[in-house]
Each structure stands twice: as C-alpha cells, then as structure tokens.
C-alpha cells in the first residue's frame, strides 16, 4: 500500500523538502551559499539549480511583466469588505503568474519580475492619510487588514497539500507607514500597547491563519534596532512566538541601511552579521556579498549561513522550481489563462464592489436616456489614473469615459473635454469646457489624485514629500475648475474622485450633488463606474479609512502614537467615518442582541431595507470595552458580513464572533478579557457622533462578561 503519511516538514504534503534543502546546502561551496542569499541568485549548474530572482510583485495583479489582468489597488479591495472575492482574485493572479513563469522559463528568461515569490500583500496600517503608500494597504483597521490580507495569501498560495501555487510575502514588518522621506533612518518608538494593538495583529493573522510563506522586513528602526536586524521582530516574535516557518527577506537596500542609514555598524560586513544573526534569511540588494568577509572576521559562522539559506531554498522546493519537479500540479497552466475572459469579469466585479458612494442628493442613478451629458476632468480618459502603484499592464483598459459612453442611449448628446490639467493652472482664457458643462443636464467630473501626485519614495513626480502628501486638498487647478463648473451649472454635478487615500471633502461635498470615491480601480474601472452610475449595479463599497475634516488637526505625521488617529481613537475631526458608504437603498438596523455561547458571542440584529433597490449591505460589528483606561480604543471592529436585502425586506442576521476578539491590549502589550459590561454596536459605519450626523443606522446591545 502507498504510504500517504504527510510530513510536517512541508506545507502539508508527503515530500520531505526540508531534507532535500539540507542536502543541497551541504553540497554547496561557501561562495555558492552566499550567492543564494541575495534576491538575484545565479544558477549552480552542477547541482541542477537554475538562476532565480526572488523579486516579483503582485499587489493587485502580476506587475511589471508583460500583460496581466489589473485589479483595484488594495485600498479599494479593502473597501469591498469581501474576503471571499479577494481570495478569488488572488487565485486568478497566481494562475496568471504560473502561466507567465512557464513562458519566461521556456524563453530562458530568469530576469527580475519573472519569478513566483511575490512581495505582496502590504498589511501595514494606514495610520495617517498623508502617507503616499497607504494605497497599497487594506486601510486603517488591523482586523480588516488581517482578514483581507489572509484571504489574499490563501488565494495566491493555493490549497494543494504539498506545493505552493505562488509564495506570498507579508510586508513591511513592522511599524512602517511613512513618512517616505525618512524611512531609511527613522527610529520609531510606539508604546507597547500600540505595537500589539495596532501594528502587529495583521501580520500575526497572516502568519498563523494564512500560513504566509514569506515576511519582508521594514526599512525603519523599531526601538533602536533596524527592522531588518531586529531580534525582537524576526526571532522572538516571528519565529518563536508565532511559529513562522517561511523565509524572511529584507526590503530593497534595507540591509545596507543598517550601516549607511541607521549607522548601527561600522562596516557592511558587520551590518550583514547583525542582520543574519537576527534572522534575515534573504536580502533584497547585494550587501550580503560581504558575508564572506564577515566569516573571515569572525562575525558569523558558515553554519549561520547554512541556517539562513535553508528557508529560501525550502520555499523554492515548495514551489517546485528549485529543481525539476514533475509532480507540481501547477506546471502546465496554459497561456490562455492570462487576461482570460473570466479574469476580466472578475476585474469588473472587484472594481464595482470597491467604489464608495459618499453623497447623493438625488443625482444618481443617471437615466441612460438623459438628453445631454458632459464628461470632464483630468482623469476621465486617462488609464494611468486607474492604475495606482505596483501595477501590471492590462491587455486593454476601459476608461471612465469609455464606460460612461457605453451606457448612454445612442440618442444622448455626450461630450467630453479634460478641461483642466491635474496640477498645472489653466492658461486658456476661453476654455470651452466650462460653457459645454453649463449646458448639460448632468456633468461628471473625474478628478483627484494619480501616481504623479502620490506614491512610494521617488514615484510621485509632482510631490514635494517623496510621495507623501503634505495636504489632503486637491491641486488648485482642479478645485478652481470644479468651482467654475458648479458656478455655471444647469444640471447635476457628479464628482468621481480617484486616489489612494482620504481627500479633503469639505468643499467638494458642498459643491457636488453626488460624490463617488473610485480609488484606483484597475483596468475595468470605467465599466464598473458606469454600471454604478446608471443603476445597473448598486454601490456596496465602504470606507476602509477615516476621511478627516482638517489635516492640520491630525497629530504630527512622524508621531507613531495612535491617539487621535483612525476611527478607534478619533473623537472629532471626522468628515466621513470608517465603514461609511451609501447605496440606492436604505437599511435600518433594529433590535440588536449579544449573547455569549462558549467561546463565541452570537450577535443578532434585524435589517430592514426601506429603499427601493436591493442592497448588498456590509453589516459591521463593533465592540467598546469596559473600564480599560485611557489607551483603550473607543470601539473596534470585530466582525463584518455582507447581506443582500431586498427592497422592503426585513431579515434577522446572526454573526458569531470569537470571544478572543473582545480581548483588550494592556499597556505592556499583553491581552486580557476584561470582566464587565461591553457595548456591541451593529450598523453601517463605525459608531461616532459624525456617523449619527450622517444618518447612519445602528443598533446597540449590552453584553456582560464575567471572568
């Protein structure tokens, strides 16, 4: 009988990959071992090992490597509040990645961006809306970030008991969320409470629940240690406490930063040794080339290199790519899967669910037979405005203009002009765009941010803060144009906002009749937007980040304390709250109850749709804990669930919440389940005074927990 016992040395399969990795290491020379510890590894022909570059990206589609389906930027994916959809999307990404990998290898291409180790997802917390890379994250809430990131990891890595479909990487570990300009030398000192309550939970979920294959360390220091050489993070927490079994890689150049940026070592050889001893297995960069010198000077032993190399080799064996492996079930995914029709439809679905309706004074949905419609704005016809960062190149793009044009009647008078530049003032004193807008029954203005205005260090060409934003207000050119349009309008003005984070909404909301936050929706953003604007689909997206009223009232950008930040700690300065979003229906919450049953709390609530359209409602459950002291959050998200509610329908919904989500992080970082009276709030946004002002429906229940 065949032996079906599964080895604990693998991801669950019967192959002893660990033994094979050790055997290969034993056959390598010291120089060969060192060469395999940097992202671009040469081949070792005598051992049958081909060249390989670990550096690849798949944040919202396979990036930087030929054509691939481009999905919404992660901040938009988070707005879906739909982990099953994100898992499905990530599976599609891995499918395309496998097909592309096979083609590259047949062509003898071993270059960067052709491998299967994807440096995604980014589960850093979007703690400050000025951060240029906040678009890469799943928002400001650790629980939402962990749930969505875990779904991405599961979809990308697949469910085979032996092999990985692709390898996901949780980044950037840890406490990294801007400013971009100082990331190579910054030393951050959050409280232990904030570390464990805000900055680490999403990573923990990806390791323990998602079994993520890799973790990428951050550039910055934490408590004086480089995160790429932090025993606390890489050894004590990641390996020992969480039981992480995959490999740890540095961010690009972060090992060199130990010496040149943080000045923690006198030489690169010494910096390499510090990182290696702390647990950094793989370097993105080439500083580890000095490890031979580090051995010669006694900083490290060759056995230390053997131990570090074990984990990256194990990952490649699990992928079935270190050596020829005919048993890997992902070897023969055909090229036809790349940009397939199913993936295009999935791109439309994710983009549609990501968009958030922030305001609607009766302007939406639009009539397809509208007599005159004017589309304008710098982002209306520009595919770059839909991409975000870390993007691939789609086989085709449906711009906002194209999507809208495909919906309206052939008898509609539809006109378009950009009307204004993204950030430069208008010099044309005539500007026909304003006159044309004034004559239309409705005007759709596509404005906001794009990759020229925000992004990672060095990306945003118009940014004065290395990709971050110093203000949330849009450029004067755009705001002046909107003011001119609204000053002359005859019909309704619908503003469609693009961007990777919050925008100053005070004047925009006042001027416009309807406002849609479209984020960076990917290649099918135009089709998704048109479906929503014309009522062929309903808005279901919800904000994964708080839109503050005034950026000047936020704490200092370089202050990593959470007090006064995010819905969990903001008592005022909220324009649109976390979890907020409108639809074409209206769901009212009534009669909430919360009952503990063993290790779960069962939350029950009645939903009634008092509107005229079916709603895909995101039911959100928040908890406020008793007597936890000044550092406790005002409320915290502990569960969410999407529910379809027909027009006029009333339905009861039950949500099981594990009791450990009611635990409170103490000042020393430990978590306890406090005895006392909890308030459980169920509704359409985070509980706050601003939510009440906006008419968000919410039901509350009390729950007493005894130790």
Kindly tell me if the per-residue pLDDT of 626 is higher than 50.
yes
Residue 500's alpha-carbon distances to 346, 452, 456, 472, 510, in angstroms, are 21, 12, 11, 11, 22
| Separation CA 157–CA 343 (nearest Å) | 18
User: pLDDT tens digit string along 678-695?
Assistant: 999 999 999 999 999 999
* pLDDT, mean over the chain: 95
pLDDT of residue 10: 38
Taking only the tens place, the pLDDT of each residue in 536-591 is 999 999 999 999 999 999 999 999 999 999 999 999 999 999 999 999 999 999 99
What would the two tokens of residue 492 be? 């309704």
Find, among 91, 39, 20, the residue nearest to 62 by Cα. 91
Q: Which residues pair with 52 in a beta bridge?
A: 41
Cα gap 65→57, rounded to integer Å: 9
Q: Is the dihedral of CA 527, 529, 535, 540 positive or negative?
A: positive
Angle between helices 142-157 and 201-208 (to 10 degrees): 30
- What tens digit of pLDDT does each residue of 75-118 get? 999 999 999 999 999 999 999 999 999 999 999 999 999 999 99
Q: Is 704 exposed, middle or buried (0-12, 13-18, 19+ CB in 10 A)?
A: exposed
CA angle 344, 345, 346 (to 5 degrees): 90
Q: For residue 277, give the nearest of 266, 267, 291, 263 by alpha carbon.
A: 291
- pLDDT, one tens digit per residue, over 43-79 is 999 999 999 999 999 999 999 988 999 999 999 999 9
- Omega before residue 638 within 30° of 0, cis: no
462 is catalytic: no
pLDDT over 60 (residue 8)? no
- Going by DSSP bridges, is the β-strand pair 615-624/600-609 parallel, antiparallel, or unpaired? unpaired
Strand partners, 188: 222
Residue 594 pairs in a beta bridge with 603
Give the residue among 132, 126, 123, 121 at the shortest CA–CA distance from 179: 132
pLDDT digits (tens, 9 = 90+) for 303-340: 999 999 999 999 999 999 999 999 999 999 999 999 99
pLDDT at residue 1 is higher than 60: no
pLDDT at position 14 is 58
Q: Closest Cα to residue 151, out of 187, 202, 104, 114? A: 202
pLDDT in tens, 653-687: 999 999 999 999 999 999 999 999 999 999 999 99
What CA–CA distance (Å, rounded) separates 116 from 167?
A: 6
Output the pLDDT for position 516.
Answer: 99
In terms of Cα–Cα distance, which of 688, 686, 691, 659 is closest to 675? 659
Report the C-alpha gap between 619 and 644 in whole angstroms: 10
Q: Active-site residue among 194, 251, 257, 531? A: 251
Residue 629's pLDDT is what?
61
Question: What does the pLDDT look like over 11-47, one tens digit per residue?
Answer: 334 589 999 999 999 999 999 999 999 999 999 999 9
Report whether 178 contacts 132 (CB < 8 A): yes
pLDDT for the residue numbered 3: 36
CA distance 193 to 616: 36
What's the CA gap between 5 and 614, in Å, rounded? 50
Half-sphere exposure of 672 (CA within 13 A, CB side): 15
pLDDT of residue 11: 38
pLDDT band at 5 (very low <50, low <70, confident <90, very high): very low
The percent of residues in the chain predicted with pLDDT above 70, rounded, is: 98
pLDDT band at 428 (very low <50, low <70, confident <90, very high): confident
CA nearest neighbour of 354 among 257, 220, 498, 153: 498
C-alpha to C-alpha distance for 562 and 419, rounded to whole angstroms = 41
Whole-model pTM: value is: 0.96
Residue range 171-214, pLDDT digits in tens: 999 999 999 999 999 999 999 999 999 999 999 999 999 999 99
Whether residue 707 has pLDDT greater than 80:
no
């Amino acid at each position: 009988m065949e032996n079906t016992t599964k080895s604990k040395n693998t991801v669950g399969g019967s192959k002893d990959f660990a033994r094979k990795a050790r055997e290969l290491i034993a056959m390598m020379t010291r120089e060969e071992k060192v060469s395999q510890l940097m992202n671009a590894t040469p081949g070792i022909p005598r051992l049958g090992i081909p060249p390989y570059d670990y550096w690849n990206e798949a944040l919202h589609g396979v990036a930087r490597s030929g054509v691939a389906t481009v999905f919404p930027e992660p901040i938009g994916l988070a707005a879906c509040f739909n982990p099953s959809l994100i898992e499905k999307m990530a599976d599609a990404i891995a499918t395309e990645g496998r097909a592309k990998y096979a083609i590259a290898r047949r062509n003898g291409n071993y270059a960067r961006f052709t491998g299967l180790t994807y440096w995604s997802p980014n589960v850093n917390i979007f703690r400050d809306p000025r951060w240029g890379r906040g678009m890469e994250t799943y928002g400001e809430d650790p629980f939402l970030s962990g749930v969505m990131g875990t779904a991405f990891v599961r979809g990308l890595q697949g469910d085979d008991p032996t092999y990985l479909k692709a390898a996901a990487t949780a980044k950037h570990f840890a406490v990294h969320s801007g400013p971009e300009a100082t990331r190579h030398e910054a030393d951050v000192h959050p409280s232990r409470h904030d570390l464990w309550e805000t900055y680490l939970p999403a990573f923990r979920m990806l390791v323990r629940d998602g079994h993520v294959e890799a973790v990428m360390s951050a550039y910055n220091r934490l408590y004086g240690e480089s995160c790429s050489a932090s025993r606390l993070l890489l050894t004590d927490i990641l390996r020992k406490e969480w039981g992480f079994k995959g490999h740890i890689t540095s961010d690009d150049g972060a090992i060199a930063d130990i010496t040149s940026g943080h000045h923690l070592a006198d030489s690169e050889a010494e910096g390499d040794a510090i990182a290696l001893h702390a647990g950094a297995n793989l370097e993105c960069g080439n500083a580890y080339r000095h490890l031979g010198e580090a051995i010669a000077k006694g900083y490290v032993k060759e056995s230390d290199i053997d131990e570090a190399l074990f984990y990256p080799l194990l990952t490649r064996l699990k992928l079935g790519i270190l050596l020829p492996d005919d048993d890997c079930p992902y070897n023969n995914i055909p090229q036809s899967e790349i940009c397939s029709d199913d993936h295009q439809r999935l791109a439309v679905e994710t983009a549609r669910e990501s968009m958030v309706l922030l305001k609607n004074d009766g302007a939406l949905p639009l009539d397809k037979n509208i007599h005159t419609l004017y589309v304008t704005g710098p982002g209306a016809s520009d595919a770059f405005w839909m991409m975000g960062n870390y993007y691939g190149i789609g086989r085709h793009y449906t711009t906002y203009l194209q999507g809208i044009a495909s919906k309206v009647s052939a008898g509609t008078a539809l006109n378009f002009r950009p009307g204004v530049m993204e950030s430069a003032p208008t010099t044309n004193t005539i500007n026909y765009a304003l006159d044309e807008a004034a004559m239309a029954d409705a005007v759709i203005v596509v404005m906001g941010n794009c990759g020229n205005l925000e992004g990672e260090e060095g990306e945003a060409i118009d940014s004065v803060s290395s990709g971050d934003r110093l203000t949330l207000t849009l450029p004067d050119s755009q705001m002046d144009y909107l003011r001119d349009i609204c000053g002359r309008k005859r019909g309704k003005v619908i503003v469609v906002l693009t961007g990777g984070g919050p925008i100053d909404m005070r004047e925009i909301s006042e001027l416009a009749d309807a406002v849609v936050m479209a984020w960076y929706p990917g290649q099918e953003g135009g089709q998704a937007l048109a479906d929503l604007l014309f009522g062929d689909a309903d808005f279901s997206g919800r904000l994964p980040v708080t839109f503050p009223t005034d950026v000047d009232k936020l704490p200092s950008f370089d202050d990593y304390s959470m007090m006064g930040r995010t819905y969990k700690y903001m008592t005022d300065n909220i324009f649109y709250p976390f979890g907020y979003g409108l639809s074409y229906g209206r769901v009212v919450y009534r009669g909430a109850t919360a009952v503990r049953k063993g290790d779960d709390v069962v939350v029950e609530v009645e939903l009634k749709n008092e509107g005229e359209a079916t709603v895909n409602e995101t039911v959100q459950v928040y908890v406020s804990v008793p007597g936890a002291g000044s550092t406790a959050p005002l409320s915290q998200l502990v569960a969410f669930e999407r529910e379809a509610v027909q027009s006029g329908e009333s339905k009861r919904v039950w949500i099981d919440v594990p009791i450990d989500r009611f635990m409170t992080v103490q000042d020393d970082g430990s978590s306890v389940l406090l005895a006392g009276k909890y308030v459980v709030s169920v509704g359409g946004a985070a509980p706050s005074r601003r939510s009440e002002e906006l008419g968000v429906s919410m039901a509350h229940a009390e729950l007493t927990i005894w130790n």
